[in-house]
Amino acid sequence: MKILVTGGAGYIGSHTVIELQAAGHEVVVVDNLVNSNLTALKRVEQISGKAVPFLEADLRDRAAMERVCGSYCFDCCVHFAGFKSVGESVSQPWKYYDNNITGTLVLLDVLGKTGCKNLIFSSSAAVYGEPEIIPVTEECPRGQCANPYAQSKFMLEQIMMDLQKADPEWNMVLLRYFNPIGAHKSGMIGEDPRGVPNNLMPYITQVAVGKLEKLSIFGDDYDTLDGTGVRDYIHVVDLAKGHVKVLDSIEGQCGLEIFNLGTGVGYSVLDVVKSFEKVNDVKIAYEIKERRAGDIAVCYSDPGKAQRVLGWKAEYGIEDMCRDSWNWQKNHPNGFKD
């Protein structure tokens, strides 16, 4: 299939482009590089041995989107582009709503008008808020979103549901990612956050490589086995393969489907730290701090629907994730600048 990948230079997008190309799809990437580096796509080309046609453009640039969609006649769009920092979304909500909502509205309009009505959307487990059911199934009601980032995903899901209802020719697949970590086996691409990382794994790897002094563990008084927060960490390559499985099932379909993409296993912050130390033989200095505002105690998925319907199941375990994250970081202490 001919596939438009928005945000394809980013962390999940770049790993997904590799898997899409390996599965024989023709990929075109649109990204404005606001949170990524063109080097990532150059490395993708080295890994896959195939060219990645790339347009540097903002999704809100309607003329650019019309040009690219008009000239390629895409069969499907995999839509990653958006801002994702929770903290920044609290301090700059307008920036988040404008980029994530306006960008997607322009994209949907242009796709629809150019006859591409297949969309795979990067949603998030954040839409469940504080989940009512653990493990979280897709039937779990969406919750009170704790920040504008999560709210933007909630609103975009709603927009897609309404659009699909109004025009049943659309086929929308909403993928609710749990916590992607890890990196490509080659160590050539991986997560490269700008500034001090907000998320656990890039913080750990930057402590390990000596860029940061110690990890702050946000709370050890949650109602969990060791008191630290529990999440469903998923290897980014497993996540990427999930998109390929969706594409395998998409042809000729109309409707809207929602899938959790997680492993179904919860690990605490201390589990992740210990696993990272063990498999990589490095020490991670840490201290226990206050709980982080907006955090929840436990969130992990029931990934059963993706297995039943798509035949997709995460293959990698926490040790692979820790090993691959470190393999990327230790070889590229400064990310794509190295």
Is the CB of 87 or the CB of 285 nearer to ligand NAD? 87
Cβ atoms of 170 and 143 within 8 Å: the answer is no
Structure tokens at 270: 């201390």
Is the CB of 122 or the CB of 224 nearer to ligand NAD? 122
- Indicate if 96 belongs to the active site: no
Tell me the helices (H) and strands (E) count for the chain, helix number first.
12, 14
- Cα 289 to chain centroid distance, Å, stands at 27
Q: How far is the CB of 304 from ligand UDP (least distance, A)?
A: 21
Q: Does 202 bind ligand NAD (CB under 6 A)?
A: no
Cβ atoms of 22 and 48 within 8 Å: the answer is yes
Among 186, 218, 274, 307, binds ligand UDP (CB under 6 A): 218
Residues 6+ apart with CB under 8 A from 329: 190, 202, 205, 206, 208, 209
Element (H, E) at 176: strand 171-177
**Stretch near ligand UDP under the rule CB under 6 A, chosen from 63-71, 101-109, 198-206, 301-309:** 198-206
Cβ atoms of 221 and 268 within 8 Å: the answer is no
Among 3, 5, 10, 189, binds ligand NAD (CB under 6 A): 10
Is the CB of 79 or the CB of 252 nearer to ligand NAD? 79
Q: Which of 130, 122, 129 is nearest to 180 (CA)?
A: 122
Q: Does 81 bind ligand NAD (CB under 6 A)?
A: yes
- Count other Cβ atoms within 10 Å, centred on residue 260: 27
Pattern 222-251, ligand UDP, x by CB under 6 A: -------x-x--------------------
Is the CB of 34 or the CB of 288 nearer to ligand UDP? 288
Greatest Cα-to-Cα distance within the chain, rounded to the nearest angstrom = 56
Q: Does 31 bind ligand NAD (CB under 6 A)?
A: yes
Among 1, 34, 279, 284, binds ligand NAD (CB under 6 A): 34
Alpha carbon separation from 208 to 93, 273, 303, 332 (Å, rounded) = 33, 11, 31, 12
The footprint of ligand UDP on residues 288-327 (CB under 6 A) is: 292, 295
Pattern 117-136, ligand NAD, x by CB under 6 A: -----x-x------------
Catalytic positions, please? Answer: 149
Residues that bind ligand NAD (CB under 6 A): 7, 9-13, 31-36, 58-60, 80-82, 84, 99, 103, 122, 124, 177, 180
